[in-house]
Amino acid sequence: YSELFGPYPFLEEKYGHLECGMGGGMEHQTLTFAGPFNHHILSHELAHSWFGNKITTGSWTDIWLNEGLASYATGLTYQYMFNGFYWKKWKTETIAAVCQQPYGSVIVDDTTLPERIFDARLYSHKASLVLHMIRFLIGDSAFFHALQNYADDPMFSYGYARTPDLIGHFETSSGIDLTEFTTQWLYGEGFPSYTIDWGISGTDTLELSIWQQTSSPSVTFFNMPVEIGVKNAINDTLIRLNPSFSGQQFQIPLTFTPDSLVFDPNLWLISANNQVNGIKDELYETLKIYPNPATSFFYIPVTFPLPSQISIFDLSGRIIRQYRLIQRFVPVDDLEAGIYIITLSDGKNTTYAKLIKD
């Protein structure tokens, strides 16, 4: 902690632990009360020496400044201790705890309700992951530099702070405006779920669409970068994309042909129920349609006999449309933007095409 947050704030005093009959712990300055003596509780309460005791939240509204920082400090011990063995487990379990319910903001919206103030799912678990995402946004150097500056700031040291005070240090150290982020992740509710549709054009161009649904109407789209792991049996790479709307399409040149994608492999994001839907290029190379991408229609080439049966599938295999085609003009203006599989069958042969709908 001293390396990450600065020197222990009470060096002239002793630090001890008092075992008691309580269920968790309490960060009494220089003397932690704890029920079970385990790493999780003791590391959390020790972190409060910096965030909770040296700097105390100025309002119950901002209790996350104490609890979120202490909870993330515990997470960091799992990253930097035990050879990192428990780091992924901590992230996985904390994300799952947050996403058990679709609503709730980190900022306490009603400080007259103790059960709202002390909702650990929000003030502790979600708050710690919000800090984790800020680290993802601004990078390790700016993130930990900001925490040290915040802990040493004479305006707040051995005094009180509010949410804008900590966010201001993150913005100063990184040069990044976090207004939209804090609006969505601290004051907004819920979390996103992502669907990734992907395929390969030729042998080395990855085509994918990133869709997002939110669990709460308070945020219609969480504007966050995402990481996607791309790999095959021999090669792998990590790409970072910045979708700005649901259904946004990307084309990424690669040096190898992947056979699988992994969404958020390093667990940076608060998200749940994510899906990755892959399709293989050789499946749809037997039929060329145009224009492609298409906006309102596409044409069937004259080399294919009509009438035929046409079927339009989404990437999950669901039939969107199926009918007897008697003309080469196929309207698609009412389809949502995305990637679709088109099949044509004349009763003897079936051909396939990939359609990109803009």
Task: Verify that 9 and 81 share a domain, yes or no.
Answer: yes
Asked whether the predicted pLDDT for residue 283 surpasses 60, the reply is no
pLDDT per residue as tens digits for the range 139-196: 999 999 999 999 999 999 999 999 999 999 999 999 999 999 999 999 999 999 999 9
pLDDT per residue as tens digits for the range 84-103: 999 999 999 999 999 999 99
Q: What is the mean pLDDT of the chain?
A: 91
Task: Verify that 213 and 293 share a domain, yes or no.
Answer: no
pLDDT of residue 317: 67
CATH code, domain with 11: 1.10.390.10
Which of the listed residues 154, 187, 220 is the one where a domain comes to its end? Answer: 187
pLDDT per residue as tens digits for the range 262-281: 999 999 999 999 988 875 54
Asked whether the predicted pLDDT for residue 282 surpasses 60, the reply is no
Q: What is the mean pLDDT of residues 113-128?
A: 96
Structural domain count of the chain:
3
Rounded to whole angstroms, the Cα distance separating 127 from 71 reads 8
What DSSP line would sit under 106-147, residue for residue?
Answer: SS-S-TT-HHHHT-HIIIIIIHHHHHHHHHHHH-HHHHHHHH
pLDDT of residue 202: 66
pLDDT per residue as tens digits for the range 62-82: 999 999 999 999 999 999 999
Asked whether the predicted pLDDT for residue 105 surpasses 60, the reply is yes
pLDDT of residue 281: 46
Task: Verify that 92 and 175 share a domain, yes or no.
Answer: yes
Q: What is the mean pLDDT of residues 188-217?
A: 89
Q: Which domain holds residue 348?
A: 282-357
Q: What is the mean pLDDT of residues 100-113?
A: 95
Rounded to whole angstroms, the Cα distance separating 243 from 192 reads 13
DSSP SS3 for 49? coil
Are 48 and 10 within 8 A, CB to CB? no
- 283 vs 329 pLDDT, higher one: 329
Task: Verify that 56 and 141 share a domain, yes or no.
Answer: yes
Task: Verify that 271 and 336 share a domain, yes or no.
Answer: no
pLDDT of residue 319: 83
Task: Verify that 16 and 120 share a domain, yes or no.
Answer: yes
Task: Verify that 156 and 97 share a domain, yes or no.
Answer: yes
Asked whether the predicted pLDDT for residue 245 surpasses 80, the reply is yes
Task: Verify that 39 and 141 share a domain, yes or no.
Answer: yes
Task: Verify that 256 and 345 share a domain, yes or no.
Answer: no
Residue 343 has φ and ψ, to the nearest 5°, of: -120, 140
Asked whether the predicted pLDDT for residue 25 surpasses 50, the reply is yes
CATH code, domain with 246: 2.60.40.1840
pLDDT of residue 186: 98
Q: Which band of pLDDT confidence, cut at 50, 70 and 90, is reported for residue 303?
A: confident
Are 319 and 254 within 8 A, CB to CB? no
Q: Which of 39-53, 101-115, 344-358 has the lowest mean pLDDT?
A: 344-358
Q: 0.75 cut: is pTM over it?
A: yes
Which of the listed residues 159, 187, 215 is the one where a domain comes to its end? Answer: 187
Residue 42 has φ and ψ, to the nearest 5°, of: -65, -35
Q: What is the mean pLDDT of residues 196-224?
A: 89
pLDDT of residue 23: 67
Which of the listed residues 158, 187, 216 is the one where a domain comes to its end? Answer: 187
CATH code, domain with 289: 2.60.40.10
Task: Verify that 100 and 59 share a domain, yes or no.
Answer: yes
Task: Verify that 124 and 43 share a domain, yes or no.
Answer: yes
Task: Verify that 110 and 232 share a domain, yes or no.
Answer: no
If 0-12 CB within 10 Å is exposed, 13-18 middle and 19+ buried, where does residue 175 land? exposed
